[in-house]
Amino acid sequence: MVMRQLFIIRAFHKTLISLSSTRHFCASSSTSTSAFALKNVTKSNFESALSDLRRHVKDADFVAVDLEMTGVTSAPWRESFEFDRFDIQYLKVKDSAEKFAVVQFGVCPFRWDPHKQSFIAHPHNFYIFPRQEIQGDATSYEFLCQTTSIDFLAKYQFDFNTCICEGVSYLSRSQEEEALGRLNARYNEHSSDSSSGWRDVVDMKLVRIADILFSERLKNKITAWHDGLLRETNGGSQTEKSSNDLKQQLKTIFFKMRPALDLTGFTSHQLRLIQLVIKNNFKDLVYVSMTGETSSPQQLIVYTHSTSDRDLLLKEVKDCHYKETEMKIKAAVGFRYIIDLLSSEKKLIVGHNSFLDIAHIYRKFIGPLPSTAKEYVSSVQNYFPYIIDTKVLLNASNVFQPILNKSSTSLSKAFTLLCPQIASGVKTSGLADKNPVKVEVQVGDKRSLNWNSGSKHEAGYDAFMTGCVFAQACSHLGVDFARHPPSVDLHQNEKLQEYINLLYISWINGDIIDLRTGQCKPDSSAGSKGFKSRYSKILFSNIVLLWGFPSKLKASEIRECFCLVFGSTSVTSVYHLDETAVFIQFSKEELVSDFLSLKDTLERSNDPISVLHPLSKILEGGQTRAANYEAYRQICSSPISEVFFADQAEAVGIKSNTKSLESVTGVETREDETGANENRLLPDTPIETEIEQINSGPDLYGHCPTDEVDSLCTAEAQLSSR
């Protein structure tokens, strides 16, 4: 089996990816459709956009969001498979959110206007890019780029130059807390002397003749200035310039009502020498470094008339440093102020296939993702208590089946089918137009009831489409916005209660996670019949993970080897993660330990029986490793992402595991609503990985009906499904 190539490149915050293409907004050919650009937000207009959004979000009935990322999967085996238990699915989403960057964030508040009987939408498209904003912070942002995702963005004219050069930076809540913690620690532990810089020069020795001459000359100049202060007031006069360097000046100014020398044109080494001169020769002078109106710090020598005045000055300087740094940290929060706004207002958040989006929001703007799905959903509820996924909504009711089918729940298709009057600007006949919800778009002073920015797969426009789909879906479910009391939040509407906080954790499996309970269940809704597969139920305790075997082996050959040893009905399925690893599901749980023990025995023996054993074909080369399903969880939980699974297992340090499965989550099977355990697979989806499925039969070599299916490219699937 030839595995598709996945190329990953590393991108740092200092790297400039330059693409000349920029977004163009195309007007619709329909005269009834208005085309004008949505509001693009960069660091130059972020403050004004934030001010506008504060007002719009506060008045909104719901807020739609959408994200564009630099990738989805860091390795082929980290794609979503139907053999993935729900805790594994979370670990794969967690890995994606930790390794890839969000480069565009769409926010679109929707407010119902009772006078116009329509929603007013305010789409915003934020370019965001993480960079080092706090001076002295050693953090270097690093993320991955997946070529399929970058190519996807470029295909839709994503402006990489704007993103990297003008994108709004951010700090997560945990990063802000860490930065403030370091600031408070420095403030509390530094002595007064350290604030004036003495600690840096205590051990400095004058060895070079040039340093000695420079120090002596500056000592004389400072002495003359100091003695002059004692005789008379010379505020505003300028001392004699250095005869060797006209750029070096000692200018008298006033600092906090005290006479001071402003040091200009000196090198950092010379300034250290000046500090040493002050330290050794002048008890009533204090060296101070302050951030002035420009970005360059101001170097001063300040006169104090007493010990108490000196202590007061040092405290004032120390407090100024603290406030300046605190303001810089607050300014570096950047785009996270938008997330804080959404969280504090407790509005209904609407997304489309949004579990990965919410994970990115948590990782980028709140803090490190918890290690388990249960901890994660509990924490998410604290920040975003009301979330609706339109992908779940569209598959949850028979109402939408005449309009949609399983293959048309991607965002763009749902928008076209459910909102034709907005998408095309032309009214059509059919179920979609029975109860059309009008949406008026406002961008600055421009308004339109039939708006099309022409910017598909731009986060701001996708957020707008998501909100339109939700509004139209609500109408079909019987939500009457005209009668909905303005004083009652939309998330309290009884017709929406059964859909709130339900997200697809994996669209491949159709598993839905309830953010209120942390429980995961298969999608049993009317639109989920495509998940029902002809393949057998999955029993995780019956699964063995095999890797490192000869790459030439196919699934049918692997199955045949096992059937020769354990019987023709011993193996129910063989599923390739990639060309180096497979899942093998046995018909009985005890066969897992039987195989692991037998493998260990054969590898320790070198007799003719071992060489001729049917499993020798799999064990050839001595690199074959096997473990139970729990080892798979351990491997997936590692932050390492090698391209091949066999390399990943070695990097994590797992060689083999003969212990029985210890289920951490208590989830042993995947069950549907009726209690039947089934392996659900999208039947119409093109796949690359092999699956061998066998049924009970008398043939020793398993000549039973088989199906070979390839594994789904999750990155492309998720991009197209949005």
652, 668, 684 - which closes a domain: 668
Beta strands in 53-138 (DSSP E): 62-69, 102-113, 118-121, 124-127
Same domain, 451 and 527: yes
Tell me the C-alpha distance between 6 and 435, whole Å. 45
Same domain, 494 and 448: yes
CA distance 574 to 641: 23
What is the per-residue pLDDT for 702?
A: 31
According to DSSP, residue 162 is labeled H
Contact 173, 367 (CB under 8 A): yes
- The rounded radius of gyration (Å) of the Cα atoms in the chain is 33
Highest mean pLDDT among 485-489, 602-606, 613-617: 613-617
CATH number, domain of 48, equals 3.30.420.10
Residue with more model confidence, 544 or 522: 544
pLDDT digits (tens, 9 = 90+) for 321-357: 899 889 999 999 999 999 999 999 999 999 999 999 9
Q: Which of 79-88, 131-140, 682-691 has the highest mean pLDDT?
A: 79-88
Dihedral (CA of 403, 407, 409, 410) sign: negative
Question: 280 with 249, same domain?
Answer: yes
- Please report, in angstroms and rounded to a whole number, the separation of the first and last CA atoms in the chain: 29
Q: Is residue 720 part of a domain?
A: no
> Max Cα separation, the chain?
114
What percentage of the chain reaches a pLDDT higher than 90? Answer: 51
Place of tokens 């915050």: 13
Within a domain: 290: yes
Same domain, 126 and 237: no
Q: Quick check: is 684 in a domain?
A: no
Asked which of 182-186, 567-571, 593-597 is least confident by mean pLDDT, the reply is: 182-186
Assign 457 a pLDDT band (cuts: 50, 70, 90).
confident
Q: Is residue 41 within 8 Å of residue 107, measured between CB atoms?
A: no
Cβ atoms within 10 Å of 463's Cβ, excluding its own: 30
In one letter, which amino acid is 182?
A: R
- DSSP conformational letter for 74: S
Confirm whether 368 is domain-assigned. yes
pLDDT band, very low/low/confident/very high, at 434 (cuts 50, 70, 90): low
204-241 confidence digits (pLDDT tens): 777 789 999 999 999 999 999 988 888 765 444 444 44
238 and 264 share a domain? yes
- Asked whether residue 182 is assigned to any structural domain, the reply reads no
Query: Stretch 455-475: mean pLDDT, rounded?
Result: 91
| Cβ contact 62:348 at 8 Å | yes
User: Is residue 181 a part of any domain in this protein?
Assistant: no
Domain final residue, candidates 290, 320, 350 = 320
Quick one: what percent of the chain has pLDDT higher than 70? 76
For 689-698, the pLDDT digits (tens) are 333 443 333 3
**3-class SS shares of the chain: helix, strand, coil, % to 5:** 40, 20, 40
Helices 590-604 & 555-566, crossing angle to 10 degrees?
90
Q: Is residue 596 part of a domain?
A: yes
Q: What is the average pLDDT score of the chain?
A: 80
User: pLDDT by residue (tens digit) across 346-386?
Assistant: 999 999 999 999 999 999 999 999 999 999 999 999 999 99
CA pair distance 481, 476, nearest whole angstrom: 12
Residue 279: how many CB atoms within 10 A of its CB?
18
What CATH number is associated with residue 630? 3.30.70.330
Which pLDDT band, with edges at 50, 70 and 90, does 164 fall under?
very high
Of 260, 285, 320, the position where a domain reaches its end is: 320
Name the residue range of residue 661's domain.
540-668
What is the arithmetic mean of pLDDT over 403-427? 76
Average pLDDT over residues 548-571: 93
Rounded mean pLDDT, 588-604 = 92
The domain tally of the chain equals 3
Same domain? 41 vs 152: yes
Mean pLDDT of 424-428: 59
Residue 630 has pLDDT above 50, yes or no: yes
Pair 156, 221 in one domain: no
| The token pair that represents 120 in the structure block | 């007013």
Q: What is the mean pLDDT of residues 16-39?
A: 49
Per-residue model confidence as pLDDT tens digits over 242-264: 444 445 678 889 999 999 999 98
- How confident is residue 425, by pLDDT bands cut at 50, 70 and 90? low
Q: Are residues 195 and 212 in the same domain?
A: yes
Does position 631 have pLDDT exceeding 70, yes or no? Answer: yes
494/352 same-domain check:
yes
Tell me: do 360 and 485 sit in the same domain.
Answer: yes
pTM above 0.85, yes or no: no
Statement to judge: residues 256 and 353 lie in one domain: no
Mean pLDDT of 23-36: 46
Residue 36 — very low, low, confident or very high, per pLDDT cuts 50/70/90? confident
Q: Spell out where 354-493 has E strands.
A: 387-389, 439-443, 446-448
Q: Which residue has the higher pLDDT, 719 or 188?
A: 188
Query: What tokens were used for 68?
Result: 């564009």
pLDDT at 684 over 50: no
Classify residue 329: in a domain, yes or no: no
pLDDT at 521: 83
The total of other beta-carbon atoms located within 10 Å of residue 233's CB is: 10
Q: Are residues 53 and 150 in the same domain?
A: yes
Contact 479, 495 (CB under 8 A): yes
